[in-house]
Amino acid sequence: MWSSVLAVISRDLKLAFRQSGEWLNPLSFFVMVISLFPLAISATPAKLSAMAGGVVWIAALLSVLLSMDSLFRQDYDDGSLEQLLVSPAPLPLVVLAKVFAHWCQTGACLTLLSPIAALLLHLPADVAWALALTLLLGTPTLSLVSAIGAALTVSLKRGGVLIPLLTLPLHIPVLIFATAAVQAALNGLPIEGYLALLAAFLVLAVTLTPLAVAAALRLAVGG
């Protein structure tokens, strides 16, 4: 069983290496969106650092949503999804494996890019560290919940555009607490409570979302 899970992760990561455009595009999008805010609103350091938490998190959310369509679509189109469903490996675990591999290409890279975002938005170093922690704990939840949207729309021709509409309300709790954590760090307050709550959301997502994703995938393949 675990060999199947590891096989799925290594295959997806291998495929990601061979088509680097797929995962580089959302990352470029992330940096570009962040750069738009100083241009559109204000470039004064005080204002930028005040809204930095929200800006980075909205950019991260949009990047994750942008990349989500590729989670299942290629597998659906070439029949690999069918094979995943037919295999004796338990589908929720396979789903977790795929989302983990996908997160390595999106959320993990976003977390690694967050120091650049902190630089662009004039965040002090300790707040940048807090930002990175919230991204580390929050982006997996974003990936898991968006995966539900990806699975529900994979059999639709232009399903990718629906994923944000379906899942944005579900991302609100993570968004609220992650940005509150950055705000607290900016004010010199402790952030452990917020991180604990984000971790709790993550645990809840890891436990429950694979079941919803598995049900949606069975529906997509079986009709």
Partner 1 sequence: MLAVSNLCAVRDDRVLFEHLDFNLASGQIMQVVGANGTGKTTLLNGLMALAPFESGEIYWQGQNTQHNPSMFKQNVSFIGHLLGLKPLLTAVENLYFLSQLQQKSASVADIEAALKKVGLYGYEYVPIAHLSAGQKRRVALARLFIEQSPLWVLDEPFTAIDHAGVQALETWLIDHAQQGGMVLLTTHHVFNPDFPLQRLDLTSYRPQEYR
Partner 2 sequence: MSFIKRWWQLFEQTVSPKYFYRISERFIPWLTLLATLLISIATVWGLAFAPADYLQGNSYRIIFIHVPAASLAMSAYFLLAICGVISLVWKVKTAEMVARAVAPIGALFCFLALVTGGIWGKPTWGTYWVWDARLTSMLVLLFLYMGVIALYNAYESSATGAKAAAILAVVGIVNLPIIKYSVVWWNTLHQGATFTLTQKPKMPTEMWLPLLLMLLGFYCLFGLLTILRTRNVILERERRSQWVRELVKAEAAKRGANRGL
What residues make contact with partner 2 under the rule CB under 8 A?
A: 148, 152-153, 155-156, 159, 162, 165-170, 172-173, 176-177, 180, 201, 208, 212, 215-216, 219, 223
8 forms part of the interface with partner 1 (CB under 8 A): yes
Closest CB 95 distance from partner 2, rounded Å: 14
78 forms part of the interface with partner 1 (CB under 8 A): yes
Q: How many residues of this chain interact with partner 1, rule: CB under 8 A?
A: 27
Helix axes of 45-68 and 125-153: crossing angle, nearest 10 degrees: 30
End-to-end CA, the chain: 27
Find the binder of partner 1 among 33, 68, 84, 151 (CB under 8 A): 84
> Which C-beta is closer to partner 2: that of 119 or that of 161?
161
> Which C-beta is closer to partner 2: that of 109 or that of 163?
163
Closest CB 20 distance from partner 1, rounded Å: 11
- Dump the DSSP string for 15-72: HHHHTHHHHHHHHHHHHHHHHHHHHHT---HHHHHHHHHHHHHHHHHHHHHHHHGGGT
